[in-house]
Amino acid sequence: MASSGHPPNSSHVDGPLLKKRQARRPSSAAGKSTPARPRRTIRLAEHVRPEAIDLHFELDPGRKDFRGDARYRIRLGRRCRHIEMHSAELRISAVRLRVNDESIVGRVEAHPECETIVLRFDRLLPADEVVLEMRFRGRVRDDLRGLYRSTDRKEPWIASQLCPTDARRFFPCFDEPGTKAHYTIRVTAPADQTVLSNAPISNRSATGDDGHRTTSFETTPLLSAYLIAVAVGPFEASPAARCGQTAIRVYTLPGRQPLARFARRAAVESLARLERWFKIPHPYPKLDLLALPDFAFGAMENAGAVFFRDSVMLLDEKEASAEDRMRAAETIAHELSHMWFGNLVTMAWWNDLWLNESFATWMAYEIVDDWQPDWRIWHEFIHRRERALELDALRSSHPIAPPIRTAEEAHENFDAITYTKGASVLRMLERYLGASTFRKGVRLYIRRHRERAATASDLWSALSEVAGLSVEEIVAPWTLEMGHPIVRAETRRNREGNIAIELRQERFLVLPSRRGNARAKRRGAGQRWSIPWLGRVGRGSRSREIRHLLVRSRQTTDLEATPPEWLYANASEAGFFRVDHGEEGFARLLHALPKLSALERIGWVGHQWALVRAGRARIASALDLIAALEHEEDPDVLAAAERVLALLLERLAPDCGPEIEARLRSWIAQIFETQFAELGLEGPRRENASRRRRRARIVSIGGGLARADAIVVACAERARDHLATGNPLPSGVGDEILRIAASTGAAPLQTALLAAVRNATTPQSRRRSLFALAAFDHGKGLRCTLRATIDPGLAPAVDRATLLMLLFSSPRAAETTWNHLQRVFSKLERQLPPILLARIVGSVANALPSDQAPLVRAFFAEHPLAAGSRVLDQVAEEFAIAKRLRARAGKDLRRYLES
């Protein structure tokens, strides 16, 4: 699932029952909810194993409810009197169990606090194969999970989103990832609607004179419940493209097929490369890609029927930016890699969620880089890694592989640690073992556990078998412990007079451990990683890589007698750790900056800013580094600098007063003004993509951050012309032009942007106009934008949630936005799934004054998040970091700018 080693079952609790925790929202299950002892389901009983499940759904996008019937072929491993399974907010009836030609009626005992039902029978059931039948009814939801409904141009459609734990809201099931069964699905729906599911259609038959028909699908291979997919709507199909034996089709809502060409091409290119990489053909008989305007995540890897948010997948290739193409290609490759890693072989329990998502993340970048090497997509990965490093530098982080007792706890882990830190560790491991060895180990793992569930230990075992070393010993500190190291690297002469690199490691935290928590301090001080360290040293025009396995807190590695002129301590940014070169090393590197690769320049900007936030370096060092990028031509390096400058303007400069903020903007303009003079707002038609992306960053830095008058005026003129006449915006800079123009606060422009959102013909143009509204950050303009965040007729819910998060990054808008969030929070709880709501809450500390921290904590004490409280701990820590940064670095910023 796109956004964004867990221990092998060590935290599992045997047996299905634990103490009840009061549910926040009782579900309406069928049968009488029997007052029973307080209980909480951890795992379903292992002796009840479904083998085949037949489902028949009666679905109509025009209705707000649905019904169905189910037939389960179950293997009972021992005699019992009851069967427990998952069911949430469903009404269950007509429960009957057939065994040895005998039919037994069952009683339904609902446990909404556990999201389960217990089916009780009056006689002892044999340890044998039994057939369970029941009927069920439920409501079509509005919050983008379970079976949910939305509309497109007033025409309704319905679709399922069952990951991680929402299959139980669609049909009674065994909703655990390690429980797999064969599914045979039938859907009765209006005859004029398209019906999609995981398997190819086997039959269509009319149901009578009511205008409905039943679509029957072939039986699936073994699948987990969360991978089941159903959608009903006025969908249109592309012509089939073929990759080997697999037919690939892209489904869209009416009129969108011209936007699907890139996605179909990317799917063919990705699938072909994945089949070669795994050395196994695509494991499912067909591959459908469905684009939906309202979808909670970037995409979901349902076997044979992958559902996407339309803004990720559908592109107008004439107006789409390079970033749009990269995001679409990476997301498609991510989801298709799950067909093998996640679907064919599935995690046994949610503690191995990271393995599914981090492998798909890493693999997607590998696949896209092989298809389009000119995109240099690994540069984008280093940007993405920044968020993971920042999150992992908090005391409130979590291990890649946290102990997960309940399925509910899995909701907390769909974050940058699970996806990006995990992918970074796999990238580091692949480089250490070698690409060929790593690939052979993964292939062995897939072959060995095909159509079954597996654990991270199973993967480490296969890799160890191929590599001839204990992989788990290397990986365990990275996956089982939270946090990451900082590596301090300096060149010195050793006792023999030779040049050596001294390496030191310790845990990197932005905030020190809490005062008085001696145990936490000792644990952090003693934490060690096995770091497959890769550095780069250079002298003159030459450089070379140095490898060393750093396992102790301090080690040295010898060099030749001639000392290098410079040392960079994370070559190609292959390692998931921060680096510190010391003052002398920093100065040497600054002089050698052009000799570093673009990946290293991107990484170094992020590392230096992290040192500033943690109080390990002066703010002058980060600004000196950015100033040295005055003539930088790589767009991704410029983006790294832009991000740091934006954070300074969000968090530090406003607290230093308007004079310092103005001086910082002026300083930014002086650094990059010559680049804008060279590039302008528009280039020639056949300009290469890198130069076009460079222009977008310079326009954004100069007009958005520096607020240079010439750029702002030029953007405002182009925006007015575009919105009035429809004339296209310059290629690659449309987002920046509208956003900078909106910063002028002109009311007619806001009115025009709102109209453009409503009338948009592509997802990119819709989002471009919608997100530009975030620049109206005060007064009437802000109030209008805040109304837009809760207008369901304006844009899909996920886009409106993103607009809300953008407003939290504006110092002028943050307090008013926080007040707005409190007023509409109950409404958002009904409209958004818990994971997405938690992401909105996670953005609250971006620019909100730190004195609001107690109020934020108090509000969420009364309105607990369904996705867990970890994000609130992270928000509280970010507030504390901002307060500390202001106290420590505010004066340094003033002195730097005044000098």
Strand 65-76 relative to strand 129-139, pairing: antiparallel
Determine the Cα–Cα distance for residues 446 and 5; give it in Å rounded to an integer: 16
Determine the Cα–Cα distance for residues 645 and 769; give it in Å rounded to an integer: 24
CB 744 within 8 A of CB 709: no
DSSP string, 86-103: E-SSEEEEEEEEEETTEE
CB 509 within 8 A of CB 614: yes
Q: Which residue has the tokens 């202001």?
A: 886
Strand 246-252 relative to strand 286-292, pairing: parallel
CB 29 within 8 A of CB 440: no
Determine the Cα–Cα distance for residues 471 and 467; give it in Å rounded to an integer: 8
> Please, which residues have CB within 8 angstroms of residue 612's CB and are 6 or more apart in sequence?
618, 619, 621, 622, 885, 889
Determine the Cα–Cα distance for residues 636 and 642; give it in Å rounded to an integer: 10
Q: Which of 176, 335, 412, 472 is catalytic?
A: 335
> Please, which residues have CB within 8 angstroms of residue 494's CB and are 6 or more apart in sequence?
500, 556, 558
> Please, which residues have CB within 8 angstroms of residue 742's CB and are 6 or more apart in sequence?
719, 749, 750, 753, 772, 773, 774, 775, 776
DSSP element (H, E) containing 559: none
Whether the ω angle into residue 221 lies within 30 degrees of 0, i.e. cis, is no
- Secondary structure letter of residue 743 according to DSSP: T
- Secondary structure letter of residue 364 according to DSSP: H
Q: Which residue has the tokens 């789409």?
A: 320
Determine the Cα–Cα distance for residues 887 and 792; give it in Å rounded to an integer: 42
- Secondary structure letter of residue 341 according to DSSP: B
Tell me if residue 646 falls in helix, strand or coil.
helix
Backbone angles phi, psi at 159, to 5 degrees: -155, 160
Residue 826 Ramachandran class (φ > 0 left, ψ -120 to 50 alpha, else beta):
alpha
Quick check: is 408 catalytic? Answer: no
CB 561 within 8 A of CB 341: no
CB atoms within 10 A of CB 787: 12
Determine the Cα–Cα distance for residues 104 and 126; give it in Å rounded to an integer: 12
Tell me if residue 523 falls in helix, strand or coil.
helix
Determine the Cα–Cα distance for residues 277 and 268; give it in Å rounded to an integer: 14
Determine the Cα–Cα distance for residues 289 and 306; give it in Å rounded to an integer: 5
DSSP string, 21-87: ---SS----SS--------EESS--TTEEEEEEEEEEE--TT-SEEEEEEEEEEEESS-EEEEEEE-
Determine the Cα–Cα distance for residues 512 and 500; give it in Å rounded to an integer: 31
Strand 485-493 relative to strand 578-580, pairing: parallel
**b/e 420-443 (16+ beta carbons within 10 angstroms → b):** bbbbbbbbbbbbbbeeebbbbbbb
Determine the Cα–Cα distance for residues 662 and 213; give it in Å rounded to an integer: 66
| Tokens standing for residue 233 | 């709507």
Tell me how far CA of residue 101 lies from CA of 55, 212, 641, in angstroms.
Answer: 22, 34, 72
Give catalytic residue positions: 335
